[in-house]
C-alpha cells in the first residue's frame, strides 16, 4: 500500500481535484497548491515525495518553482504543460524535471507516471556509496555530486543518473531505448529526444576536460562513455 506524499500544483481547481481523486484511490497522500509561491511554501513544510507541477501558474510559474526546488532538493518533479511543444519539454528536463505530461491527459496515465518515477527514486540511494572516478571526473550518485577537475558542478538528478550509468559501464554502447529503460525505468513514457537533451547538457559540462575519456556518440546506435589508454 502506498503512503507517499504528493504535492499537486495547478491553478485549475478541477484538475487538482481529479488528480487528488485518482491518487488517493492509490493510497497516496495528496496536498494541493494553486500558485507558485504557495507551492514553494508547501514544499518546505510538507516535504512531499513527488511534485506534480503545472507550468502556467500565478505568482511564480512552474519553471521558477522547479528551479527553486532543485536548489535544495532532488525529490522527483513531473511537469504538466498545456502546450506540448518540444521547447517546453526540453526546458523542463534541463531544469531537472524527471518527467512531463501534456494536457489534456488521462488521469490514469498520470498515476502510472507517478508510480514509475517513485519506483525509480526509491532505488536511489542505498547504503552503498555509488561513485565512479576517472581522470578529472568524479560522479557520486549517493550524494548526487558531480566534480569536474576538482570543481563541484550543479547537475540535475537525471543527468547525474545517466552519466553514472554510462561511466559505470565504460566502453559499452547503449541505444537510446536501452537508456530510457535502464535510467528512466521500463515504463517511462518519454522518447529518444529525452536522452539526446540530457547528453547535450552533460557534454556542455564535460567536453575538453580530459583526453582519457569521452562521452561519445555511436552513430545510428546510441552513446557510450569511452575510455582511452
Residues 198 and 115 in one domain: no
Q: What is the CATH number of the domain that holds 152?
A: 1.10.10.10
Q: What is the CATH number of the domain that holds 37?
A: 3.40.50.2300
Q: Which of 77, 99, 122 is the last residue of a domain?
A: 122
Q: What are phi and psi of 136, to 5 degrees?
A: 65, 20
Domains held by the chain: number: 2
Residues 94 and 199 in one domain: no
Q: Output the pLDDT for position 155.
A: 86
Residues 17 and 106 in one domain: yes
pLDDT of 1 > 50? The answer is: no
| Most confident residue range from 66-75, 129-138, 217-226 | 217-226
Q: Output the pLDDT for position 119.
A: 79
Q: Which of 67, 87, 122 is the last residue of a domain?
A: 122
Question: Which distant-in-sequence residues (6+ apart) come within 8 Å of 47 by Cβ?
Answer: 5
**Residue 78 belongs to domain spanning:** 5-122
What is d(CA 228, CA 196) in angstroms, rounded to the nearest whole number? 23
Q: Output the pLDDT for position 177.
A: 85
Residues 86 and 160 in one domain: no
C-alpha cell at 180: 530510457
pLDDT of 205 > 60? The answer is: yes
Residues 170 and 202 in one domain: yes
Residues 137 and 118 in one domain: no
Q: Which of 65, 98, 122 is the last residue of a domain?
A: 122
Q: Output the pLDDT for position 185.
A: 65
Question: Which distant-in-sequence residues (6+ apart) come within 8 Å of 76 by Cβ?
Answer: 49, 50, 51, 98, 99, 117, 118, 120, 121
Residues 182 and 139 in one domain: yes
Amino acid at each position: 500500500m502506498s503512503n507517499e506524499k504528493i504535492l499537486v500544483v495547478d491553478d485549475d481547481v478541477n484538475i487538482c481535484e481529479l488528480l487528488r481523486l485518482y491518487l488517493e484511490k492509490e493510497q497516496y497522500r495528496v496536498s494541493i497548491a494553486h500558485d507558485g509561491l504557495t507551492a514553494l511554501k508547501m514544499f518546505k513544510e510538507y516535504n512531499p515525495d513527488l511534485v506534480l507541477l503545472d507550468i502556467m501558474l500565478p505568482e511564480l510559474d512552474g519553471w521558477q518553482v522547479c528551479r527553486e526546488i532543485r536548489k535544495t532538493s532532488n525529490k522527483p518533479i513531473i511537469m504538466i504543460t498545456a502546450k506540448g511543444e518540444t521547447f517546453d519539454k526540453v526546458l523542463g528536463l534541463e531544469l531537472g524535471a524527471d518527467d512531463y505530461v501534456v494536457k489534456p491527459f488521462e488521469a490514469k496515465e498520470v498515476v502510472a507516471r507517478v508510480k514509475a518515477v517513485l519506483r525509480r527514486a526509491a532505488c536511489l540511494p542505498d547504503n552503498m556509496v555509488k561513485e565512479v572516478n576517472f581522470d578529472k571526473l568524479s560522479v557520486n550518485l549517493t550524494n548526487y555530486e558531480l566534480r569536474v577537475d576538482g570543481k563541484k558542478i550543479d547537475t540535475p538528478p537525471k543527468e547525474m543518473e545517466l552519466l553514472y550509468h554510462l561511466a559505470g559501464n565504460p566502453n559499452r554502447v547503449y541505444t537510446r531505448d536501452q537508456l530510457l529503460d535502464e535510467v528512466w525505468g521500463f515504463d517511462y513514457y518519454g522518447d529518444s529526444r529525452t536522452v539526446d537533451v540530457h547528453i547535450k547538457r552533460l557534454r556542455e559540462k564535460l567536453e575538453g576536460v580530459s583526453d582519457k575519456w569521452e562521452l561519445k556518440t555511436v552513430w545510428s546506435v546510441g552513446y557510450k562513455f569511452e575510455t582511452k589508454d
